[in-house]
Structure 1
Amino acid sequence: MTDPRLRAEIHAHPYPLLFATVSGAHLYGFPSADSDHDLRGVHLLPLEHLVGLSTGEETISLEHVRDGAEVDLVTHEARKFMRLLLRNNGYVLEQLYSPLIVHTTAGHDELKHIARGCITRGCVRHYAGFAAGQWRLWEGEQPPRVKPLLYLYRVLLTGIVLLRTGRVNASLPSCNYDIGLPYIDDLIARKVNGDEQGLIAGADVEFHRAEYLRLRAMLMESAERSTLPDAPSDETRRALHDLLVRLRMPPSAAA
């Protein structure tokens, strides 16, 4: 990603970044003209902010407008991010493997290699729980809108594809190429063309309720049949530990 406004966010960050990628609607494949730019990444606190009396921030979050672009930036400290990876967290996997890269390093490449061991059957809990929350949000709207419905389908299809193939793919159009839901393209077109606040007719609510239940069952069945490991291995945990130590240690100390 070469948008200078996003690169300016990287340069303004108070700590060195391991990587920064784009998430949100741009990654999911249905950005509107006025969609926020969601930046996600990992920062490294200096040693004095880890071992001294004053500790640095594990999570940095800010929202503002830069040259007309609404930017939502969230970065986690490397240790926190790696702990989340070890908890079968699909959301951080999507950030790590996002193809929309604003900033990268050799450490980012190594982390992506090691984190293949964090793509597990246990991720089903993340995607099932996230989908249930999105469903409650959407069903509770009066009347329900297009935008939250797209986020619901994005979560379900990303989870199904991950469990079936071991690929982390947060793009709804790309995932739907594998699943083949005929109504997705129309919903995406409505949002992209500015109708994200558009309403879903009453009869369609029952249709989407049935589809949610069907796809949730497909998600759970995909987990049962998956050949992925149940959880990250001890070897993966050790590799993450070793990487973090090397990232922390200045070259002079490692010599």
Structure 2
Amino acid sequence: MKEMIQEKLIEIEQKHDVKILFAVESGSRAWGFPSKDSDYDVRFVYIRQPDWYLSIDEKRDVIEVPINDLLDINGWDIRKALKLFRKSNPPLLEWLVSEIIYYDTYGFKDEMLRLRHQVFSPKASVHHYLSMAKGNYRMYLQGDEVKIKKYFYVLRPILACKWIEKYNTNPPISFQDLLTEMVTDPVLKSEINELLSRKIAGEELSLEKKVERVNEFIEQEIEYLTDFANSCTSELEDPTNLLDILYRKYLKIVWGNTG
């Protein structure tokens, strides 16, 4: 599958006249809880020819490949990516630490990793993850019977918030790492691990009776983390100059000296 994805990425480069700086897996495969039928969520950052940026008109800054049952591929232009990086965009920060890498050229991802602590905003990240947890909880985990596999789409953002509260750093992408570190109740951890094993093994986790202990944990943490999010602050120096320098640097590295 990796070779197929890399071939698709080469096709994208040729079709759109771009260079891909890095491409990684995101979503459940990167988080460590894929189902047997999980698709591949490929995300990438690319750079265009310098003249493309010298225009009085705003242009489309994403590339999307039509989604099928197996592949979901889309990417952001370097300028869009760096603007979102400046805002501590959590999905982008996750792409940088994904362990499933399809493309990594020119050293751009490594440079972003070196700068991530200068852009990381606990406030922005906590609000993002908490909003995700609340939305998925409302949608999937109400009532006596729930969609069991959706527990992970609520638990992971909750545990990410707890990591940020404890360490004030970007949370790891692995659900298992978050679970090991942030859940101390052995019974709760055992119940979550059992659900995780079932999901990864490919069991059909459709509607089942809700897991009371897990639901109680989620409700308590959402209430607590809502207060934490409201009190969370971020004081960062403006990284725009650093990111401008990085942007110009990679235009030259990829396409040659632009003068």
State the TM-score, normalizing by the size of structure 1. 0.84
Range moving further from structure 2, 54-63 or 37-46? 54-63
Could you tell me which residue of structure 2 aligns to residue 92 of structure 1? 92
Residue 221 of structure 2 is aligned to residue 215 of structure 1: yes
Question: How far apart are the structure 2 equivalents of 1:253 and 1:48?
Answer: 9
For each residue in 1:130-188, what CA deviation from the matched residue of structure 2 results, as whole angstroms up to 9, or x when unmatched?
A: 11111122135884212221111111112322442314312111111102333221111
The equivalent position to 2:36 in structure 1, one of 22, 29, 33, is 33
Q: Identity rate of aligned residues, in percent?
A: 22
Could you tell me which residue of structure 2 aligns to residue 113 of structure 1? 114
The equivalent position to 1:245 in structure 2, one of 245, 248, 251, is 248
Could you tell me which residue of structure 2 aligns to residue 160 of structure 1? 162
Question: How far apart are the structure 1 equivalents of 2:131 and 2:145?
Answer: 23
Give 1:49 shift. 2.4
Range moving further from structure 2, 45-54 or 76-85? 45-54
Gaps of 5+ in 2: 184-188
Could you tell me which residue of structure 1 aligns to residue 172 of structure 2? 169
Question: Aligned to 1:210, what secondary structure does the other structure show?
Answer: helix
Contact 1:86 1:232 in 2 (8 A): no
Question: How far apart are the structure 2 equivalents of 1:173 and 1:179?
Answer: 10
Could you tell me which residue of structure 2 aligns to residue 233 of structure 1? 237
Question: Aligned to 2:109, what secondary structure does the other structure show?
Answer: helix
Could you tell me which residue of structure 1 aligns to residue 129 of structure 2? 127
Residue identity matched to 2:5: L
Residue 63 of structure 2 is aligned to residue 60 of structure 1: yes
Residue identity matched to 2:98: S
Range moving further from structure 2, 93-102 or 207-216? 207-216
Could you tell me which residue of structure 2 aligns to residue 75 of structure 1? 75
Question: How far apart are the structure 1 equivalents of 2:213 and 2:208?
Answer: 10
Residue 8 to residue 163, structure 1, CA distance change in 2 (3 Å)? farther
Could you tell me which residue of structure 2 aligns to residue 47 of structure 1? 50
For each residue in 1:212-242, what CA deviation from the matched residue of structure 2 results, as whole angstroms up to 9, or x when unmatched?
A: 122234545776998xx715422x3221121
Give 1:55 shift. 6.1
Give 1:129 shift. 1.1
Residue 195 to residue 72, structure 1, CA distance change in 2 (3 Å)? same
Gaps of 5+ in 1: none
Question: Aligned to 1:88, what secondary structure does the other structure show?
Answer: coil
The equivalent position to 2:182 in structure 1, one of 173, 179, 183, is 179
Length, aligned pairs only? 245
Range moving further from structure 2, 2-11 or 214-223? 214-223
Residue identity matched to 2:193: D
Residue 144 to residue 244, structure 1, CA distance change in 2 (3 Å)? same
Give the root-mean-square deviation of aligned CA atoms: 2.7
Question: How far apart are the structure 2 equivalents of 1:44 and 1:89?
Answer: 19
